[in-house]
Amino acid sequence: MRCALVGLMVALGFITASFFWLDVPTAILCRQFMQHLGPLGHRLGSPILVFGESLVAFILVLQRILRGRLPQIAKVTVIACGTSLSTFALNEVVLKPFFGVPSPYDYFYGDSHHAFHFFEGSLMSSFPSGHMALAASFTGTFMGQSKWLFASLATAIIIAAAVLVVGDWHFISDVVAGALVGTFAGVTAAVLWARHRAGYQPL
C-alpha cells in the first residue's frame, strides 16, 4: 500500500509538472510529425479499438456458453475487456468533460489555451487520454497472470504512449494521466479476480 501511494504521488507530481512546463514545448517540437502520422490515427482510433475489444469479449463469452468452460487466460481476457471498456467509458463521459483540456490540434489550429476548463469539455477533449486509459486498464488486469504477456503488453503501451505524443494527438500529461486511470482500474480488477479465485469471502 505504501509503495502504491508513493507511486501515485510521483505520478501526480509528474502530471502537474508536465502540464505546466513540458506539454506545450514538446507538442511544438513534435508538430512536424502530425501530418505524417495522421493516417495511423484513423486506423487505430478509439472506435476501432473499442470494437475490437467488444468483439473479442463477445467471442469468448459465446465460447463459454457453447462449450461450458474457458481456459484461465481467456477468462482474464474477458475481464480485461470489460474493465477496459468500462474505464474508457468513464474517461470519455466523465473525466474529459470535467477537466476540459483542449487537444494539441485545438491548441494549434483552434486558438485554444492549454488549460483546465472545468465542466466545459467534451468527447474531443484531451485529458486524460482515452487510448491510454483503454490500454492500461486492459494490461493491468493481467498483473499476476502471465509475466511474459504482461511485459509484452506493458512494452506495447510505452511505444503507443510515445506515438501519441510524437504524433501530437495528446500532450504528455494526457498520456500519463490516462495511464494512471487505466492502471488503477486494471490492477483493481486483477486484485478482485485473484481474491475470487482464492475463495475470498467478504465480511
Tally the C-alpha atoms within 13 A of residue 14's C-alpha that lie toward its C-beta.
Answer: 16
Asked if residue 10 belongs to a domain, the reply is no
- Full residue range of the structural domain in which residue 166 is found: 27-192
Residue 118: pLDDT above 70? yes
Asked if residue 203 belongs to a domain, the reply is no
Asked if residue 19 belongs to a domain, the reply is no
- 164 touches 170 (CB < 8 A): yes
User: What pTM was computed for the model?
Assistant: 0.88
Asked if residue 180 belongs to a domain, the reply is yes
- Give me the chain's average pLDDT, please: 87
Q: Is 16 exposed, middle or buried (0-12, 13-18, 19+ CB in 10 A)?
A: exposed
Residue at grid coordinates 466523465: 94
pLDDT at 43: 52
pLDDT at 145: 80
Using one digit for the tens of pLDDT, what is the confidence trace for 24-55? 999 998 887 666 555 555 455 678 889 999 99
Asked if residue 18 belongs to a domain, the reply is no
Asked if residue 50 belongs to a domain, the reply is yes
b/e sequence 104-128, b meaning 16+ C-beta within 10 Å: bebbeeeebebeeeeeebeeebbbb
> What distance in Å separates the CA atoms of residue 121 and residue 150, rounded to the nearest whole number?
33
Q: How many domains does the chain fold into?
A: 1
> What distance in Å separates the CA atoms of residue 125 and residue 79, rounded to the nearest whole number?
27
Cell of 157: 503501451
Using one digit for the tens of pLDDT, what is the confidence trace for 125-154? 999 999 999 999 999 999 878 788 888 988
Q: What is the DSSP letter of 32?
A: G
- 166 touches 26 (CB < 8 A): no
Looking at residue 16, its amino acid is: T
- 137 touches 185 (CB < 8 A): yes
